[in-house]
Structure 1
Amino acid sequence: MPASHLHQIIAALPLQRGASEPLFRQLYAAIKAAILDGRMSPGMQLPPTREFCRLLAVSRQTVLNAYALLTAEGYLDGAVGRGTFVSVEVPMAAPPARADAPGLLRPLSARGQGVVAAMRQVAIHRGPLRAFRVGMPRIDHFPFDVWNRLEARRWRRPDHHFGYSDPAGFLPLRELLCVYLKASRGVRCAPQQIVITSGSQQALFLLSTILLAPGDSAWMESPGYRGASGPLRAAGARVFPVPVDAQGLDVAYGVAHCPQAKLAYVTPSHQMPLGVSMSLPRRLALLAWAAQNKAWLVEDDYDSEYRYTGAPLASLQSLDRAACVVYVGTLSKVLFPGLRLGYMVAPPALAEALVQAKAVMDRHTAIVPQMALADFIAEGHFGRHIRRTRDSNAERRDLLVRGIARELGDQLACGPADSGLELCAYFRAGHDEETVSRAGLARGIELRPLGHYADPAAGPECVTPPGLLLGFAAIPPAEMAHGLQELGRILRGR
């Protein structure tokens, strides 16, 4: 290559002066890229360091440091008095592939494609908080000063727990959760049955993976939580949509149309998204079917702490006499989503298998947050926080219900609103959910269509009247009032 052309290549190397990354690291990366893409070919002699300095207006030490890194990694060869060369061991660069050329990327496996596709339809929160974001607790009520103190205290006293830990989770935390769940939800368990997970989503993925073989059928509420159908599909299960009515999951429909299912996912205390509670006859029928067919029931009790009319309902697991219910809980809705702590309560015969599966996935959940949570519960902060947020959520729920009745009573009819962090509202007039939702985003509010939770493969039995799911727990009163005004303008075509 002519020296003039090489000098042009060197002079064009991208360097950002004043950037946080040191110049020698930038120069190292730029030369490495030029070698790998073929602009600097194997055996090519680079100019002396002083010439390099002149071309780029950098110090000689910058060039020497970059050369040293590249030589250590095998991109350059050189010796005093001989010069510096691109290593002949670096293979010639292949011609760059066209971005639109078919078949050039290595394909994912069939299982990989299933995992990737499974969660594409799950909505992810984006941007700042605004009315009426669903699934969000009121974070500004959380005592972060207390939490910071508890974590700092643990960091100041490192002990053997700071090595690899029990995949099942921090034992004192499991013991405290056992006491709490017995008292608040009637869950019958021992600490050995509890497995701490990185959020309830990890629990759902583990259960789908180890309880189902590819091709097995699983009942899924429709409408229902897409974040649960995703893991089922990723595991290769055949998801069978089962309709939901005022009494919860229609067990008789599932038995009549898919009796061979190996698992059923349910949200019996507060159905997602319709907000209904499963009646006692339906619960008993579901347990009887599972016992007779040796099927598993996954009870997702995602926000039962927030019940505003009376005490929380007893869990489905409390009625289980056939050891078929796996109880799944999350702390994202009670504390804050970024904590990423959840748990499973497994039947005794299943617990050890879930612990081993958890170890395969990530060895164990981060230990310091578990320790801090154990202290948070033991010192009474957990109970006080739940009581405080329950009262706050109830006030904001009342604001939303009254606001709908006052401003949108002719447009919306509220569904059950006695628990949870959101409520569903059905259109009284003919509105298209997606059109309303898009108009909301254009006006700065989030309106989740109820149709988002419907299984596309579900039959007419699973069709839910059109409407919206409206979150209220995290929405300040002024933002809620603004959201209701905008929603009213949208529904009235203004």
Structure 2
Amino acid sequence: MPRPTRKAAPLGLVLDPAATLPLHRQIGQQVRRAILERRLAAGQRLPSSRLMASELDVARGTVLLAMDQLIAEGYVVAQAASGLSVANDLPDEMLTAPPGRGAPPPAGRTAPAPALSRRARAALRDAPPDLGFDDAPLAFPTGQPDRTAFPFALWARLLEREWRQPLWAVAGALHPFGHAGLRAAIAAYLGTARGFTCDAEAIVVTTGVRQSLSLLAELVLDRGEAAWIEEPGFVGTREALAFADVRAVPVPVDSQGFALHRALAAEPAARLAVVAPSHQFPLGSVLGLQRRLELLSWAERHDGWIAEDDFDGEYRYAGRPLAPLRALDRSGRVAYLGSFSKLLFPALRLSYVVLPAALAPAAQVLMAAVPARPSLLGQGALARFIADGHFTSHLRRTRLLYASRQDALLAGLERHLAGWLESARDPGGMHLVARPVAAIAPRFDDRVVAAAAARAGIAVSPLSACHAGRRRRHGLILGYAATPEGGIDSACAALADVLRDTVPVRRRNG
């Protein structure tokens, strides 16, 4: 059945009421195109808004909204006596725009690729598959909590309480480090849950781990200096250091995590180590006490610094976690990074860094000049959420929930993907790494598999993308925290279908 259209107006406009584009934008786009293609000449009078509305069978307000936008853009002018007309002073180059700019190319031709920088081309090459932004839950996204487990009704009440009569310090000029109440709540929580004391005046609320790490790098390193990073590791670590003009030196990790002797062999002059000792991303290893003490000793003796990324240390399902490096630090050399977005819900966009106290004065100056500081909207509510005990209760509930989902994922992998992928139980975290079995490993390209899975509605991350060096291991990172337990088995079955269609199988000669 053809889609309904409205009859043409004197301008030759044809509107589609079934389109997703609002009617006022359809009007604006078509009039703008008519001007650029010189079908409407400079100075030409346009029909009145009443006439256009009548001819198009739309509300007059719809036409006025479209004309107001065209007036604001300079395509149309409004004069009291003569009504609306096409502007006389449009630039000549705008009126000779080549076909294909802003319009589909002619049949049989493709639009030329834009001239991009090398870093933009690299970003496109390494970008994860496009999974859309709709409400459909996707299986196995990495770094995503279960949003349905978060108490949004309670959160709304806390937001309302905070903003009914906000304090001047909140509604006025906020401290560069963020909401004072939130920083105090974080300090109290860390003292109880993570076992170290810190001054709220040294806590900086940030938009994410990238901003936290970039701030620390700018504080302790000069441009071009080196920092050790884990290999494989979180892609955002490399991005944050690049933003601070710091050279990232990848250090291969093993089953025991980051090894200082390998780091010194790779770059003896580095003065910053970025590590995730409680649960290394993505491999999940835990840094043993001996290596922790070696790293702390290095920082103390060589004027070095340590960035401790504790992105999901709250989720431990077996045994007690080791004390954070920050709790063992005697000389003020460890900055502790945490994130609420990965624990509560991603759109919160609130993380924090606990700086060594000696760095706080300089950090305040740098943060005051940062244009993209974290939104204040949720900081006060989050302070109440933590102080009233809701945060620890939420962690306790989701810890049980995620442990059960890891069990379900392991069962699904065994049931549907044995012979394709192999994985093992992880005593903590929110994801598992599944590697190809030896028989298919030489033909397993995790980027190809991830792209094919995305087309099937499954969000898996390629392990190879976590490597900074040329030697890359392939596998799939499967986040289970945000995947409903009832959908894990069917998602594993669908992933098996993807692998059968994607990974070539070596056939024996008969």
TM-score of the two chains, using structure 1 as the length reference: 0.81
Q: 2:247 is matched with which residue: 209, 225, 238? A: 238
What is the CA-CA distance between 1:14 and the residue it aligns to? 5.6
Report the CA distance between 1:385 and its aligned residue: 0.9
Secondary structure at the residue paired with 1:484?
helix
Residue 305 of structure 1, CA deviation:
0.4
The answer to whether the aligner puts 1:200 opposite 2:209 as a matched pair is yes
Inter-partner Cα distance in structure 1 for 2:372 and 2:393:
32
Task: Return closer, same or farther for 1:165/1:36 CA change in 2, 3 Å cut-off.
Answer: farther
Counterpart Cα distance in 2 of 1:357 and 1:115: 27
1:156 has 2:164 as partner: yes
1:255 paired residue among 240, 246, 264: 264
Once the two structures are TM-superposed, the CA of residue 429 in structure 1 deviates from its matched residue by 2.7
- What corresponds to 2:105 in structure 1? none
Hey, what does 1:328 align to over in structure 2? 337
One-letter code aligned to 1:194: I
CA–CA separation in structure 2 for the residues paired with 1:138 and 1:48 = 54
Asked if 1 retains the 8 angstrom alpha-carbon contact of 2:233 and 2:282, the reply is yes
SS in 1 for 2:126: coil
- Which residues of structure 1 form unaligned runs of 5+? 1-7
Which residue does the alignment assign to 1:146? 154
- Higher alpha-carbon deviation: 49-58 or 186-195: 49-58
Determine the structure 1 residue equivalent to 2:325: 316
For residues 12 and 163 of structure 1, the distance between their equivalents in structure 2, rounded to whole angstroms, comes to 52
Q: Determine if contact 2:77/2:87 at 8 Å carries over to the other structure.
A: yes
Partner residue in 1 for 2:431: 422
Alignment: residue pair count = 475
User: Is contact 2:275–2:308 with CA below 8 Å preserved after alignment?
Assistant: yes
Inter-CA distance 338–137: structure 2 relative to 1 (3 Å threshold): same
* SS class of match (2:377): helix
For the structure 1 residues 289 and 124, does the alpha-carbon distance in structure 2 shift closer, same or farther, using more than 3 Å as the test?
Answer: farther
Partner SS state of residue 249, structure 1: coil
Counterpart residue number, 2:131: 126
> Is 1:281 matched with 2:301?
no
CA contact (8 A) 2:46 2:86 kept: no
CA RMSD of aligned residues (A): 4.0
Change (3 A) 1:117 1:190: farther
Q: For the residues of structure 2 that align with 1:394 and 1:213, how far apart are their CA atoms?
A: 43
The answer to whether 1:472 aligns with 2:471 is: no
Instruction: For 2:238, give the aligned amino acid.
Output: S
- Does residue 481 of the first structure (1) align with residue 489 of the second (2)? yes
Residues in 2 aligned to 1:194 and 1:441: alpha-carbon distance in whole angstroms: 38
Q: Which of residues 394, 397, 404 in structure 2 aligns to 1:395? A: 404
Answer yes or no: is the 8 Å Cα contact 1:225–1:453 preserved in 2: yes
- Scaled by the length of structure 2, what TM-score is found? 0.79
Provide the C-alpha distance between the structure 2 equivalents of 1:450 and 1:230, rounded to a whole number of angstroms.
Answer: 17
The residue that corresponds to 1:46 in the other structure is: 45
| 2:333 alignment partner AA | C
- Which deviates further from its counterpart, 288-297 or 335-344? 288-297
Residues 37 and 382 of structure 1: is their aligned pair in 2 closer, same or farther, counting only changes over 3 Å?
Answer: same
Measure the CA separation in 2 of the matches of 1:291 and 1:382: 34
Q: Which amino acid aligns with 2:147?
A: I
Alpha-carbon distance between aligned partners in 1 of 2:65 and 2:493, rounded to the nearest angstrom: 62
Q: Provide structure 2 residue ranges, at least 5 long, that are not aligned to the other structure.
A: 1-7, 102-109, 506-510
Aligned-residue offset at 1:216: 2.3
The aligned amino acid for 2:464 is G
Q: 1:365 to 1:22 in 2, by over 3 A?
A: closer
Gap change, CA 1:125 and 1:171, over 3 Å in 2 = farther
Structure 2 counterpart of 1:91, one-letter code: P
Distance in 2 (alpha carbons) for counterparts of 1:71 and 1:414: 60
Match 1:449 to one of 462, 482, 485: 462
Q: Is the 1:214–1:236 Cα contact (8 Å) retained in structure 2?
A: yes
Q: Which residue of 2 aligns with 1:4?
A: none
- The answer to whether the 8 A contact 1:50-1:60 is kept is no
What SS does the aligned partner of 1:361 have? Answer: coil
Aligned partner of 1:5 in structure 2 is none
Overall identity of the aligned pairs, in %:
38
